[in-house]
Amino acid sequence: MQMLWLAFDNFAGKGIGVVIILKFLWYSALMATPQALPIGVLLSSIMTLGSLSEKYEFAAAKSAGVSLPRLMRSTVVLVCMLSILSFFFYDHVYPYAVLKQLNLKHNIKKKQPALALVPGSFNTEIPNYQIKFDEKYGEEQNLLKKVLIYDLSSRRGNNKIITAERGKILSEEGSRYMTLELYDGYYFEHHKKNGASYSERLRMPASHADFKEYTINIDMSSFDTDVERLQYTKNFNMLSLKQLSDTIPTLKKTYDEYIVSRAKNLFLVLDIEDLHQYPDSLVNKELSTDILTNFELKEQNEIMSTAVSKIERTLNNNKSYKDNLKNRRKWLNLHDIEYYNRIAFSMSCLLLFFIGAPLGSIIRTGGMGLPMILAIAIYVLYFFSNTFGKNMAEESSVTALLGSWIAVMLMLPLAITLTWRATRDKGLFDIKTFFSPLVQLIKTLFSKNRENT
């Protein structure tokens, strides 16, 4: 619900039609369903079985010879069906919802550019302008603080710079212009002619002035687009499992080819192909094994200078390609993670049921009090462990398979333990049972000491 309210708050009162807002909320709700279903199963299982245990319904069933596993057999079948339904929902409906929601959000921002402006960085979405500001505030989020604008409309670079302490965005529905009012600022423009030399550009005049109020009218006709237009269709979370299985091999092949090409370039830059291993019969035994000592001092300096320059050039090239390689690897990891996580997260309904059902029968408390607290705590543990695993896999710290299944691996022992204790009518944590092996060991040691004395 919080996600839906935040989405509604971003678009409500910003000149966006009600139908478009409802569509956006509908797609957002579909995206949240795979995360909401597991916690719903967990909470309902704790509340239901806790209420039955609290009213001694399980005790009556056991006295009639019906065991807990037999009593829960039909519920287990239902949860298995929910897990299968969750898998198909996550594989077909979720990618469709992400596709429609992301493109709808992008198109809304194109129709309402004020929504696309983000504080703290240069915004390049508006044609012919680069706008940066520190803060966006106000009821309509149209007031700006500490504004910096590069006017590129002259197509001659950032020769026109405008700064202002405050700004205000004004746009009317149906108008092709967006008005930007600036207050208490400074204006600078460097006048340049096409084809002028560097020395001539240095002597060209510039104009500058302080202003109390300055108005810019920006033509936004290029932003007039259909809100249903699909521009982004290849994101990893927009693809089904079959599409991911077809895309991942292509990405891996492209990534491997990129690494091979970089290795070949490094090989050529270092002139490794010129190094050969000569037979013993061709070795000049008068030459020293210390290669540099076979040359004069001047030649040694030239050799060292050439080697150092090649190494520095190679290191600089590797640094420049490092971010590109990292981004390629991360993009490939995101596809791998999404592929394995679709299957792993679909198992969460079944896994959390086998945690919530025995836990409810053990605590023997129904209602919305303790069961709600336990459900939230368990789901937060599961969700954060799943997020932690995916983040590690994204950075290649672990494999995508391990990162996607790490939450299941951590929670599965808890589910097995709780189910085992519930079927044997044991408490959640029996201190006597925990310490009894240790006490028995101490008694055995003392009895042996007494026999020896």
State which residues of the chain have pLDDT below 50.
431, 434
- Note the pLDDT tens digit of each residue in 335-358: 999 999 988 888 888 898 888 888
Distance CA 318, CA 311 (A): 10
What was the pLDDT predicted at 432? 52
What is the dihedral sign for C-alpha 321, 326, 329, 332?
negative
Distance CA 49, CA 43 (A): 10
210 and 254 in a single domain? The answer is no
- Decide if 6 is inside a domain: yes
What was the pLDDT predicted at 333? 92
Identify residue 189 by its one-letter amino acid code.
E
83 and 182 in a single domain? The answer is no
Largest CA distance in the chain: 109
- Note the pLDDT tens digit of each residue in 390-441: 999 988 888 989 998 998 998 898 888 888 887 777 766 554 554 566 667 7
327 and 347 in a single domain? The answer is no
292 and 353 in a single domain? The answer is no
214 and 265 in a single domain? The answer is no
What was the pLDDT predicted at 215? 87
- Decide if 74 is inside a domain: yes
255 and 185 in a single domain? The answer is no
64 and 134 in a single domain? The answer is no
User: Which string of b and e fits 419-442 if b means at least 16 CB within 10 Å?
Assistant: bebbeeeeeeeeeeeeeeeeeeee
Burial class (CB in 10 A: 0-12, 13-18, 19+), 261: exposed
Distance CA 118, CA 26 (A): 25
CA-based nearest residue to 335, from 232, 251, 242, 231:
251
Total of domains in the chain? 3
- Domain membership of residue 168 as a residue range: 127-219
- Decide if 434 is inside a domain: no
316 and 368 in a single domain? The answer is no
Q: Which residues pair with 211 in a beta bridge?
A: 185
- Decide if 296 is inside a domain: yes
105 and 29 in a single domain? The answer is yes
Distance CA 75, CA 252 (A): 42
- Decide if 214 is inside a domain: yes
Q: Provide the whole-model pTM.
A: 0.68
104 and 16 in a single domain? The answer is yes
- Decide if 227 is inside a domain: no
Domain end call among 219, 246, 263: 219
Distance CA 196, CA 144 (A): 37
Q: Contact, 421 vs 434, CB < 8 A?
A: no
8 and 68 in a single domain? The answer is yes
- Decide if 318 is inside a domain: yes
Q: ∠418-422-427 over CA atoms, to 5°?
A: 85
In this structure, what DSSP letter does residue 123 have? B
What was the pLDDT predicted at 272? 57
DSSP 206-245: EEEEEEEEEEEEEE-GGG---TT-------GGGS-HHHHH
313 and 383 in a single domain? The answer is no
What was the pLDDT predicted at 431? 46
What was the pLDDT predicted at 153? 74
- Decide if 453 is inside a domain: no
